[in-house]
Amino acid sequence: MNKNLAKYSSLLVTGGAGFIGSNFVINWLAENAGTMINLDLLTYSGNLMNLTSLKEDQRHLFVKGDIGDRELIKQLLEKHRPHAIVNFAAESHVDRSIIGPETFVETNVVGTFRLLDECLKYWNTLADDDKRNFRFLHVSTDEVYGSLDEADPKFTEEKQYEPNSPYSASKAASDHFVRAYHHTFGLPVLTTNCSNNYGPYQYPEKLIPLVIANCMDWKPLPIYGDGMNVRDWLYVSDHCDAITAVLNSGEIGETYNIGGNNEITNLDLVKTICSILNEISPSSHGNYQELITFVTDRPGHDRRYAIDTTKVETSLGWSPNESFQTGIRKTIEWYLENIDWVAAVKDGSYKDWLNTNYSAR
């Protein structure tokens, strides 16, 4: 199941050159006949190499630009008249939000607000049927709910927001604007709050691709604190399917939690990656686990995230296709097979980031 054909034949996607956005764009165009405008600012994590497979696809129109550029948004909406918008664009890395929070406010809060505001103006010009069918789907995170202790129940959609990092605070603010634009102006919005994604095209600042890339170079694998923080991991294509399901059949104004039911500590996760690599790509240096290095913790580091997926499963019939065991193996194989992508991404500003984030830890 899960392979929902989209109800919408013209989509505007933002952030579609990033990790989840590019997976969504590729999957959507493979499964649907419609057209897609892909607006992305191409910040450090946006990468046109992610979209190489769409080069010949006339249904995909890439536009370089900012979700906070009102004039551009207005022009795109008037010219292409999309049936729905899926907003992936964001600053997405918690560590960067600790070192430089301002761009998180600019993009995640002000950018999302301006995008919403221009959408509202566009939506108000639509004919009744188009107005009824239009959707603004905002892609958000489970981090807005705060941190769980070991024995706490998983996050439901009713959980109070308690964001702890500048990243999650900025996402929480954007979620509130999305909610308010529905409540006050009637804009037909949907919000998804998802757990940690992994898979192809993820920028190697995030734990899983960082660990794979460092193993490939026989470099230390930095584990923050005691390594006992718990995350719930979802394979990226399953997240993309969930977004399509919410877009097709989600109830206007509702939020949907999405997760993989795969809770694991960071230490166990890194050990799992090492043992798969020991098996499929052994190193002449030795066992990859020798590279595990405990480093100074992330300030304000959330202890545990866990997602209750009852709502999306029972009301929309979505559930993940990939288990953690199959998904992580596929992911590792993808990075090993795409050495050129990894090498290109690791050039330039990536080295500066490693220096900024890890040299003093």
The catalytic site residues sit at: 142-143, 167
Among the listed residues 222, 260, 320, 327, the single contact to ligand DAU using CB under 6 A: 222
92-111: contacts with ligand DAU (CB under 6 A) = 92-94
In this chain, which of 148, 210, 212, 328 binds ligand DAU, going by CB under 6 A?
A: 210
Cα separation, 166 vs 144, in Å, equals 10
Which does residue 11 bind out of ligand DAU, ligand NAD, none, counting CB within 5 to 8 angstroms by kind? Answer: none
Which C-beta is closer to ligand NAD: that of 188 or that of 199?
199
Q: Identify the burial level of 180 via C-beta atoms within 10 angstroms of its C-beta, where 0-12 means exposed, 13-18 middle and 19 or more buried.
A: middle
Among 12, 51, 60, 68, binds ligand NAD (CB under 6 A): 68
Per-residue mark of binding to ligand NAD, 23-62 (x: CB under 6 A):
----------------xxxxx-xx----------------
DSSP structure class, residue 226 = T
Q: Is 220 exposed, middle or buried (0-12, 13-18, 19+ CB in 10 A)?
A: middle
249: tokens are 């059949």
> Can you state the percent helix, strand and coil of the chain, rounding each to 5?
45, 15, 35
Tokens of 326: 């199959």
H helix or E strand, kind and range, residue 217 = none
Rounded to whole angstroms, the Cα distance separating 211 from 13 reads 29
222 binds, among ligand DAU, ligand NAD, none (CB under 5 to 8 A by kind): ligand DAU
CA distance 37 to 246: 20
Q: Over the Cα atoms of the chain, what is R_g?
A: 20
According to DSSP, the β-strands at 263-265 and 230-235 are: antiparallel
For position 175 contacting ligand DAU by CB under 6 A, the verdict is no
The listed partner (ligand NAD, ligand DAU, none) that binds 229, CB under 5 to 8 Å by sort, is ligand DAU
Name the residue nearer to ligand NAD (CB basis): 20 or 312.
Answer: 20
Using CB under 6 A as the criterion, which residues of the chain lie in contact with ligand NAD when the complex forms? Answer: 14-15, 17-21, 39-43, 45-46, 66-68, 88-90, 92, 107, 111, 139, 141, 171, 194, 196-197, 203
Using CB under 6 A as the criterion, which residues of the chain lie in contact with ligand DAU when the complex forms? Answer: 92-94, 141-143, 195-196, 206-207, 210, 222-224, 229, 231, 266, 298, 305
